[in-house]
Amino acid sequence: MGAFDNKVAYADYRDSNVRISRPFIVTPVVDSVDTVATHNLFTIPDGFALAGGSVIVTTSVTSAGAATVQFTVDGDALTGAIGKADLAAGDVVSLEFGATDGTTVTGAYANGADTQFSMVVGTAALTAGKFTVILDLVHVDAIS
């Protein structure tokens, strides 16, 4: 896993906190997640569920082509494919379950194995952009 593997950071939370928010910064060109591909940004540890989140665009996305960005969890879409023109500095993208097709997002709960929060870059590589991603996680196993 690359620079975004935060699984170890959750070891201290497993026994004490039920709900936590985890912000992190993604700079696609600097972090080598700018190519047309699916890029795993964050490991949701076993026993945790993604309760929601937001992506705040802090530097506008640019591309030599018609780049799109989509956010997923375990391959399930949390957003549609967002064109670079709709990823300007100051824009906020809400991460919603079933927002694009109304189906259940089964990957949002890491039940029995870790799962991945990912960014899918489509059509063309990114040449600039920066995001602050805020994930709201619940430690489901700590509730029971």
Per-residue pLDDT in tens (0 to 9) along the chain, 144 residues: 344 444 444 444 444 567 778 788 999 999 999 999 999 998 888 888 888 899 999 999 999 999 999 999 988 888 999 999 999 999 999 987 654 455 555 567 778 888 899 999 999 999 999 999 998 888 887 776
13 domain residue, yes or no: no
Matching residue, tokens 């945790």? 48
Q: Where are the beta strands (DSSP E) in 63-127?
A: 68-73, 76-77, 82-83, 92-95, 115-122
Name which of 119, 120, 128, 133 is nearest 61 in CA terms: 128
**Number of compact structural domains in the chain:** 1
What is d(CA 103, CA 34) in angstroms, rounded to the nearest whole number? 28
15 domain residue, yes or no: no
What is d(CA 144, CA 138) in angstroms, rounded to the nearest whole number? 12
What is d(CA 127, CA 112) in angstroms, rounded to the nearest whole number? 37
Q: pTM here?
A: 0.84
pLDDT at 11: 45
36 domain residue, yes or no: yes
Write out the two tokens for 88.
């300007």
For residue 26, the enclosing domain spans 20-143
24 domain residue, yes or no: yes
63 domain residue, yes or no: yes
pLDDT at 17: 62
What is d(CA 72, CA 10) in angstroms, rounded to the nearest whole number? 20
35 domain residue, yes or no: yes
* Contact yes or no for 60/88 (Cβ under 8 A): yes
Write the CATH number for 52.
2.60.120
77 domain residue, yes or no: yes
pLDDT at 109: 77
4 domain residue, yes or no: no
